[in-house]
């Protein structure tokens, strides 16, 4: 026996702390041991290139072996190995990082980084093992192989070994409650999760388990469009193809490699949950980068790999320090630059992707002032205007060059699509305001639900008023932002009120000498009596149109301020916005149905037992017209729909009766 002694630690309670608190997940032990094995192989390459080792380094590999009978799992590498003195220095002195010392000595002599940072990775073994053994032989000529063993107490043994092949084997005798790691399927899953892109083959029973190639560390010039797409499919299987991507590859002002994708968005996406995978030297760290990536970029996907991101000892959380914030700002700026360039150089593609990109941009504008200043001029809206646009071309791939902010286009040549037109025009708000300055200066008409507000939109279009569609799930908040930015502009939803441009002048209406009322006043009274809803404000207006039959007989309007207050209260109380009892029913006196209704009412008489059949029919038609107007604003519940159907049948029955008479 070479030596027997006590591990150099600062407290006798270090092992209970390691077992219970060092890492949040016990499965991390495999990642740490494989990372150490990769480090050992990279170190051997370093000393070989430095001329300190002339032997054959062979094909690097890491072998995992499972022995169910003895309840052991071992991780072997053919790397640099250790001498007895190195085992004492790097293993017995907890938290002394051999990787840090090695980097300083051989800096600049390897194209592959050293993974380890903390020196505690090896001790994660004791979270799952009742006994840990190291069998190692150094690359140094004439070195004696040694065997180290520890049962989880501060006691260890170090003795000579009969090992003849260079490298290190770590053998764990598992605790009874950790025997799940004796299953090969479990080990394959962990390697796939944490070690998939480590640059050394990792084998189990002769089968290579990992990809090894990390595309984000490749030169963008070596990657084709299909390579980027294939990597995305591998990371996110069964997902739609991404819109475009950004390859980050820079060493100033930070060392960052990565590929970020803009995915197609679904309306139900949770924009607060990230899907960008964080790596450190090709070692998987976390499924999200919440502390690094600004919140508005959370829906992006892909990989970020950086050694400049400070990790805690478990590599499972990030420290919210100034460096991290600067890295976040840097990534956000590059994303903003990419979007601006796409808008400038390939607007048709930008427009095509806007349905999905718009969520990123608007969310970013609401949450980040720097990003807002970058992109505020490229926020676009779908419009009813007749604006010539061009169709979509193949998504471009932009990569950040090593020289800083310059972007290189590495997109494969796509066929030209110039001259074709998109089906739907888009415009910026500034363009909208400039285009409509003569017709309605500093006034914006918008729609939030194309289906339910179609009648209102069509009414505006027919009178030459341009309407913007603000119908994404984020637009409710975004409209408030726009009003703060454009405080001299009035934003009006198409169903909140009708601009005077849409209405005929009523000043010339004739007063009937027998009733001393205008036709509009008569119609208003008809609806007030028929509906008997004091909270419904009935207005009578003649809608402008060359075809009155094509306009709605009535419309329900929701005053802008009151509607927004209700929406805000509902949001604060986390409730669904209910349709308000207080609303406006605008009756279109120019519509033939309403005029016929007024004429019909003139012939109704009061009978001894109540209303005449004609008066009853007038009331039912008024209620039916109101129901139809209401349907464009809200859906009926079961009872409401039942009443509507019954009333519709009654109206049709009475109408057919009158015709037959």
Distance of alpha carbon 356 from alpha carbon 266, whole angstroms? 8
pLDDT at 94: 55
Q: Are strands 536-541 and 583-588 parallel, antiparallel or unpaired?
A: parallel
- pLDDT score of 585: 92
Residue 475 has pLDDT above 90, yes or no: no
Question: Nearest to residue 370, comparing CAs of 297, 462, 267?
Answer: 297
Over range 263-284, report the average pLDDT: 77
Q: What is the rounded CA–CA span in Å between residue 554 and residue 572? A: 33
When mean pLDDT is compared across 240-249, 391-400, 459-468, 578-587, the lowest value belongs to 391-400
Distance, in Å, from the CA atom of 90 to the CA atom of 108, rounded to the nearest integer, reads 23
Separation CA 403–CA 223 (nearest Å)? 19
**Adjacency order of strands within the sheet including 443-447:** 426-428, 380-383, 467-469, 443-447, 490-493
- Alpha-carbon distances of 277 from 259, 294, 411, 527, 566, rounded to whole Å: 10, 14, 24, 62, 40
Name the pLDDT band for 115 (thresholds 50, 70, 90): very low
Output the pLDDT for position 424.
Answer: 67
Question: Residues, the chain, total?
Answer: 661
pLDDT band at 7 (very low <50, low <70, confident <90, very high): low
pLDDT in tens, 497-538: 888 888 887 766 777 777 778 888 889 999 999 999 999 999
- Angstrom distance (rounded) from CA 272 to CA 642: 41
Query: Please, which pLDDT band fits residue 9 given cuts at 50, 70 and 90?
Result: low
Contacts of 256 (CB under 8 A, 6+ apart): 248, 249, 250, 304, 305, 306, 308, 327, 330, 331
Most confident of 214-228, 468-482, 563-577, 597-611: 214-228
Name the residue with higher pLDDT: 270 or 335: 335
Note the pLDDT of residue 639: 82
Of the pLDDT bands very low, low, confident and very high (cuts 50, 70, 90), residue 99 is very low
Predicted local distance difference test score (pLDDT) of residue 433: 94
CA 36 to chain CA centroid, Å, is 34
Q: Are 459 and 502 in contact (CB under 8 A)?
A: yes
For a pLDDT cut of 70, what percent of the chain falls above it?
Answer: 80
Task: Say how many Å lie between the first and final Cα of the chain, rounded.
Answer: 119
pLDDT value at residue 63: 97
What does the H/E/C string look like for 307-328?
Answer: CCCCECCCCCCECCCHHHHHHH
Q: Which DSSP symbol is given to 183?
A: S
In this structure, of 209-223, 306-320, 491-505, the range with the lowest mean pLDDT score is 306-320
Q: What is the DSSP string of 547-564?
A: -GGGS-SEEEE--HHHHH
- Tokens for 650? 């009654």
**Vertex 360 angle, CA 358 and 366, to 5°:** 95
Query: Hey, what are 245's tokens?
Result: 């991507």
Across 23-51, average pLDDT: 89
| Whole-number Cα distances in Å, 400 to 84, 250, 341, 496, 521 | 47, 7, 12, 47, 69
pLDDT for 1 beyond 80: no
Q: What is the pLDDT of residues 368-417, one digit of tens each?
A: 899 999 999 999 999 998 754 433 444 444 455 444 444 444 443 433 33
pLDDT at 625: 92
pLDDT of residue 349: 87
Residue 105: predicted pLDDT: 54
pLDDT of residue 253: 77
pLDDT at 414: 37
Q: What percent of the chain has pLDDT above 90?
A: 37
Report the C-alpha gap between 199 and 112 in whole angstroms. 8
- Which pTM was predicted? 0.70
C-beta separation of 453 from 632 below 8 A: yes
Element at 509 (helix H, strand E): none
Residue 102: pLDDT band with limits 50, 70, 90:
very low
């Amino acid at each position: 026996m070479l030596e027997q002694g006590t591990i150099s630690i600062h407290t006798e309670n270090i092992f209970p702390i390691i077992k219970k608190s060092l890492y949040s997940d016990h499965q991390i032990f495999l990642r740490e041991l494989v990372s150490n094995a990769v480090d050992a192989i990279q170190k051997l390459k370093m000393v070989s290139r430095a001329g300190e080792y002339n032997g054959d380094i062979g094909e690097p590999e890491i072998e995992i072996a499972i022995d169910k009978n003895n309840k052991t799992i071992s991780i072997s590498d053919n790397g640099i190995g250790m001498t007895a003195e190195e085992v004492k220095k790097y293993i017995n002195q907890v938290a002394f990082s051999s990787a840090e010392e090695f980097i300083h000595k051989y800096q600049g002599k390897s194209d592959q980084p050293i993974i380890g940072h903390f020196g505690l990775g090896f001790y994660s073994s004791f979270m799952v093992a009742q006994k840990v053994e190291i069998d190692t032989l150094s690359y140094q000529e004439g070195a004696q192989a040694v065997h180290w063993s520890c049962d989880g107490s501060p006691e260890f043994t170090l003795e000579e070994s009969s090992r003849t092949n260079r490298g290190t084997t770590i053998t764990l005798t598992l605790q009874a409650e950790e025997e799940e790691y004796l299953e090969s399927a479990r080990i394959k899953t962990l390697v796939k999760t944490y070690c998939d892109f480590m640059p050394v083959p990792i084998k189990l029973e002769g089968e290579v388990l990992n990809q090894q190639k990390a595309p984000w560390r490749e030169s963008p010039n070596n990657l084709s469009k299909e390579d980027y797409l294939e990597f995305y499919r591998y990371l996110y299987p069964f997902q739609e193809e991404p819109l475009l991507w950004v390859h980050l590859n820079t060493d100033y002002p930070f060392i960052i490699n990565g590929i970020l994708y803009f995915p197609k968005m679904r309306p139900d996406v949770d924009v607060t949950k990230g899907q960008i995978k964080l790596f450190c030297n090709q070692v998987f760290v976390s499924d999200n980068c919440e502390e690094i990536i600004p919140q508005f970029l959370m829906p992006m996907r892909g990989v970020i790999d950086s050694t400049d991101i400070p990790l805690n000892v478990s590599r499972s959380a990030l420290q919210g320090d100034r460096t991290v914030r600067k890295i976040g700002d840097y990534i956000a700026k590059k994303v903003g630059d990419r979007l601006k360039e796409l808008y400038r150089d390939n607007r048709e593609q930008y427009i095509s992707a806007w349905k999905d990109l718009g969520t990123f941009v608007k969310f970013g504008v609401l949450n980040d002032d720097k990003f807002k200043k970058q992109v505020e001029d490229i926020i676009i809206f779908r419009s009813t205007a007749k604006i010539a646009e061009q169709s979509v071309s193949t998504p471009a791939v932009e990569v950040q060059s090593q020289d800083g902010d310059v972007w290189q286009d590495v997109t494969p040549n796509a066929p030209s699509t110039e001259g074709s037109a998109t089906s739907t025009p888009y415009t910026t708000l500034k363009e909208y305001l400039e285009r409509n300055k003569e017709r309605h200066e500093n006034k914006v008409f918008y729609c939030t639900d194309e289906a339910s507000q179609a009648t209102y939109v069509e009414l505006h279009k027919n009178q030459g008023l341009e309407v913007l569609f603000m119908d994404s799930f984020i637009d409710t908040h975004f409209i408030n932002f726009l009003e703060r930015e454009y405080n001299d502009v009035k934003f009006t939803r198409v169903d909140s009120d009708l601009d005077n441009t849409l209405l005929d002048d009523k000043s010339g209406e004739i007063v009937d000498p027998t009733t001393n009322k205008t036709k509009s006043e008569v119609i208003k009274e008809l609806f007030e009596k028929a509906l008997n809803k004091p909270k419904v404000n009935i207005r009578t207006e003649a809608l402008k149109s060359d075809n009155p039959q094509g306009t709605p007989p009535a419309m329900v309007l929701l005053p802008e301020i009151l509607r927004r207050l209700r929406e805000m209260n509902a949001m604060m109380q986390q409730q669904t916005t209910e349709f308000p009892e207080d609303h406006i029913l605008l009756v279109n006196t120019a519509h033939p149905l309403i005029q016929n209704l007024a004429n019909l009412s003139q012939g109704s008489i009061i009978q001894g037992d109540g209303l005449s059949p004609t008066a009853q029919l007038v009331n039912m038609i008024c209620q039916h017209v109101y129901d139809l107007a209401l349907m464009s604003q809200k859906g009926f519940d079961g009872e409401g729909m039942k009443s509507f159907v019954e009333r519709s049948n009654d109206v049709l029955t009475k109408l057919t009766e009158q015709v037959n008479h």
